[in-house]
Amino acid sequence: MADKQETSGNNKVWFITGTSRGFGRVWTEAALKRGDKVAATARKLESIADFKEKYGDNVLTLELDVTNAEQVKSTIEQAHAYFGRLDIVFNNAGYSLVGTIEEAGANDIRALYETNVLGPVAVIQAALPILRKQGYGHILGTSSNLGHVTLPVVGYYCSSKWAFEAIHESLAKEVAAFNIKVTIIEPGAFATEFGSQESLKFAPELDIYNDFKQEFFGSLQNMERGNPEATPDAIFAVVDTDTPPLRLFLGSHNLPWTRGAYAERMATWEAWEEVANAAQGETK
C-alpha cells in the first residue's frame, strides 16, 4: 500500500460529479478558487467549459453520464492519471422525480434509481481500488434532509436518498480500515437550480391528485431557501478535518424537522412496544 500523502489545507484533488449547475458548480468553483485541483464532470462537456477557461491545468473537465458504469470507471481513471491522486470523490449528480406514488411508472422510477443510487455506486466501486492503493481518501455524497424525512409528491426521490444514506453508512464501516472516510452531505431547501426543468422529471398526472398537488406546491412557494454560495466553507470544514462526520446537514431548518420526525417515530414505536414484544414469541 502506498504511503499516506498528507493533503491538508489547499492541496487537495477532487473528483466531482454533476458540476454543471447547482451545488456541484458552486463547490467546484469554490475548490478551484482556493487553489485545489478538480476533475469536474457533467453530462455535457460544453456546460462546464468555462471552468477550463478560468482555471487552466488546475481543472480537468470530463463528460460523464453516471448511469454508464464503463464510462464512470474510465473517467475516474483519467482523472487519477491526470492529477496523480484523488483525495476527495464527491458523488453529487442527481435529480428529482415529481409525481405521486400512484402516478409514477416503473420506467420513471427505474431511471431515477439509475442516476441517484446506481450511479453513485458505480463511482464508489470505480474509485475504491485507487483510494485503497494510495492509502487514503474521502468519499462525499450529496443526499438531502429528505434522506431522513419525506414529503408527498416526491416520495420516490425521498426513497432514493434513503437508499443513498444506507449505502454510504454501510460503506463507511467497510472502508474505515483502509483509511478511507465517508461523509453524507444533507442540504435542506436552497435557492439552486435543483427545481429547474433540467433537474426535475415529471410523472404522467392523474386528475384525482390535482387539488392535492396544487396545495402542496403552493405551500412550497413560501419556504425559506438558503444561499448556496454560503455552503462551501461547511464542505471545506469537513474535508480539511482529520475526523470528519458521517453526516452533515446544510441549512438551519434540517435538524428541527428531523428531530421532530424521529420523536414522532419513537413515540409510535414505544406506544406499540407491548404488541411488538409479544410478536417475539417465547424465547428458548
pLDDT of residue 198: 55
CB atoms within 10 A of CB 132: 17
| Domain contains 253 | yes
161 tagged catalytic = yes
The model's pTM: 0.91
Domains in the chain, number: 1
User: What are the C-alpha distances in Å from 52 to residues 30, 104, 158, 259?
Assistant: 14, 39, 34, 43
| Domain contains 139 | yes
| Domain contains 4 | no
| Domain contains 20 | yes
- DSSP 8-state code for residue 1: -
| Domain contains 29 | yes
Residue range(s) defining the domain that contains residue 179: 13-277
User: What are the C-alpha distances in Å from 137 to residues 30, 41, 63, 140?
Assistant: 20, 19, 23, 10
Give me the CATH number covering residue 112.
Answer: 3.40.50.720
pLDDT of residue 124: 98
**Active-site residue, selected from the candidate residues 12, 37, 161, 181:** 161
| Domain contains 263 | yes
**Active-site residue, selected from the candidate residues 95, 156, 157, 181:** 157
Distance CA 47, CA 77 (A): 22
| Domain contains 2 | no
| Residue 44 contacts residue 64 (beta carbons within 8 Å) | no
**Active-site residue, selected from the candidate residues 96, 143, 144, 160:** 143
| Domain contains 1 | no
157 tagged catalytic = yes
Could you read off the pLDDT tens digit of each residue along the chain, which spans 284 residues? 333 444 444 589 999 999 999 999 999 999 999 999 999 999 999 999 999 999 999 999 999 999 999 999 999 999 999 999 999 999 999 999 999 999 999 999 999 999 999 999 999 999 999 999 999 999 999 999 999 999 999 999 999 999 999 999 999 999 999 999 999 999 988 776 544 445 678 998 999 999 999 998 888 777 778 899 999 999 999 999 999 999 999 998 899 999 999 999 999 999 999 999 999 998 77
